[in-house]
Amino acid sequence: MKYRKTTLKNGLRILTVPMEGTQTATVMVMVGVGSRYETEKQAGLSHFIEHMLFKGTTKRPTAQSISEELDGIGGEFNAFTAKDKTAYYAKVDGRHIETAFEVLSDIFLNSKLDPLEIERERGPILQELSMYEDDPRRSVGEEFEKLLYGQHQMGRNIVGYKETIKSVSRRDFTAYLKKYYVAGETVVCVSGKFNEKEIIGQIKKAFAKIETGAEAKFKKVSDKQVAPGVHLKFKKTDQTHLILGARAYPQNHKNRWALSLLSVILGGNMSSRLFIEVRERRGLAYFVSTSVDTYQDCGYIGTQAGIEHKNLAEAVEVILGEYRKIATEKVAEKELQKAKDYIKGRSVMGFEASDDVAMFFIDQEMHKEKILSPKEVFAKIDAVTVADILRVAKDIFKQEKLNLAIVGPHKDTKKISQLLKF
């Protein structure tokens, strides 16, 4: 799978990734800023802007006119806001890629930000925030990052606060867009079935006059920790939801390949150690999973589970037991190879879809030191040894790096803190 990178004079980057054997094409526009770039008074503005860009342009004055045009070609379209990026995308029959790009570039470059629409959209976003707060399986992730990063922007909910959602004005929107939605912070990626020469020409024409600006800056987190941390969010729930994990590495760290394999071995699939131990052997949870989250200056590994309230202590003990085991005993070569094959197999299946391919390349361009091809990524994965897994596990699974976030009817922080004995 080969890609082509084109950089315009204004600094905007274009990635084109032709794919054989697919009839679809995806166009994705990503800007390298998200909620961590906001001030406290702007909390939630990145996400609010994501919503507003679908509310109308001069050419397509309403949300309905935008959606009807993309629905009319059978397209899938959406957007997402993260702490370090915001992306807009459309996936269509390859014959309609030019239409998809024209609509997507129009909303990105020419949104009206109608004050009346801003007022209308406050309601749905407030309901979105309430929906997430009512979903402990989702909100426990927010609570875990709040535990890790505290009052820093990284510890804040991406959607923001009710107060800021209610108070931000059109002037806040336009100032944020002028500062951050600039050429140097924007990447356009097209993948799938398309005419490369024609689409590059279309992108150049559309984005030739996009504003330039200074490089976006963010406040780095302090990722040091001297004692295990516990954070409880009291909520009357049917289950206790928890994430137990440890601080790890940032996005471009040399140990990231070993860490990804470590997470698969621990809880990445239905034959992983924690899935077997927590669910199959002990019946403690229906859902249990281990994953890694990374940012430019920090990262962590965490195991999430939903359990009966009375089984909290046992679940924590079992998870810590597996952390302890993998940090003191070498994994078997066969188990490591199984994890490698799992990652590569899942990746290969993803590479059949143009939207997954677009995300694979654009995310690397935005956040990694260099773009690696799938073949190069697989080589990095294959190079990880049993000794690497043990070394990385020893490094991250230490008493002082442990963190436990819980959403459920629990109040005794001191008692729960005593469970974190490593």
Cβ count within 10 A of residue 252 = 12
Question: CB of 54 within 8 A of CB of 108?
Answer: no
Choice among 38, 50, 121, 365 that is catalytic? 50
List for the chain the helix, strand, coil content (%; round to 5).
Answer: 50, 20, 30
Question: CB of 154 within 8 A of CB of 221?
Answer: yes
Cβ count within 10 A of residue 323 = 25
Query: How far apart are alpha carbons 387 and 324 in whole angstroms?
Result: 16
3-class secondary structure, 192 = strand
- CA dist 65 → 54, 55, 61, 139 (Å): 10, 9, 7, 34
Q: Which residues of 19-37 are buried (b: 16+ CB within 10 A; e: fewer)?
A: beebebbbbbbbbbbbbbb
Instruction: Tell me, yes or no, if 50 is annotated catalytic.
Output: yes
234: left (phi > 0), else alpha (psi -120 to 50), else beta? beta
Question: CB of 247 within 8 A of CB of 397?
Answer: no
Question: CB of 351 within 8 A of CB of 188?
Answer: no
How many contiguous H segments (helices) and E segments (strands) does the chain have?
Answer: 16, 11
Q: Which residue is associated with the tokens 């199959």?
A: 280
For 290-303, give the DSSP string: EEEEE-SS-EEEEE
3-class secondary structure, 13 = strand
Query: How far apart are alpha carbons 235 and 34 in whole angstroms?
Result: 28
Ordered strands of the 186-192 beta sheet: 4-7, 13-18, 186-192, 24-31, 86-93, 76-81
Query: How far apart are alpha carbons 96 and 248 in whole angstroms?
Result: 43
Catalytic residues: 50
